[in-house]
Amino acid sequence: MSYETICSRNFLALGEGYRAVSRLVLLGRFGAPHGVRGEIRLQSYTSDPLAIARYDGLTDKIGARKFKLLSVRPQSKDMLVAKVEGVDDRPGAERLTGVELYIARERLPAPEDEDEFYLTDLVGLRAETREGVEIGVVIAVRNFGAGDILEVAPVRGGETLMFPFTKAVVPAVSVSGGRIVIEPPEEADAIEEG
């Protein structure tokens, strides 16, 4: 079974660690209106784009507005045309342009395998080397277009560290064990020593 791998963006610094404030997971984003009867384009971030319509409990980023998708149909690879409950005309659809759709993490199905996880599940894990030396705590999973990047708050404080989320740099992930193993690239070791 395929699972969406999307990340939570909301967390709060508490003492030495970080914890999720509201584990909201981004599932999609409304685009421009489509026609005059209230339909709107919807970019889906789920592995099966049409699956976004099966989720109950979609909200905006702060949870103030709730959305129910009455229907969706494909427009292109990951772009859909959606009909939203309560939106019956173009001006109503225009007001939704740019609104992101979130769902509470606990409403997503649990991964079936130990090696499967949502990227949001990495937030809060202890990051350490293979030898057990603690690097810090994962505070976010970012993607600026070239792949996922782990943002780690270092144990000693200071600026956060960024590590590519690849098998070479992150050879082991144990969500149940509360840790990930990071093998920093050699360039990072040289910078740290200098």
One domain for residues 31 and 86: yes
Decide if pLDDT at 9 tops 50: no
Does residue 30 fall inside a structural domain? yes
* Cβ atoms 137, 153 nearer than 8 A: yes
One domain for residues 102 and 28: yes
Token readout for 191 is 């910078």
* H or E element, residue 90: helix 90-94
**Residue 37 to residues 98, 111, 135, 155, 158: CA-CA distances in angstroms?**
18, 38, 53, 54, 52
Does residue 7 fall inside a structural domain? no
Task: Give the residue, 3 or 126, on which the prediction is more confident.
Answer: 126
CATH code of the domain containing 183 = 2.30.30.240
Q: pTM, whole model, 2 decimals?
A: 0.67
Does residue 4 fall inside a structural domain? no
CATH code of the domain containing 49 = 2.40.30.60
One domain for residues 97 and 130: no
pLDDT in tens, 166-177: 999 999 999 989
One domain for residues 39 and 99: yes
Domain encompassing residue 43: 24-107
For residue 187, the model assigns a pLDDT of 57
Does residue 116 fall inside a structural domain? no
Token readout for 102 is 């979130």
Domain count, the chain: 2
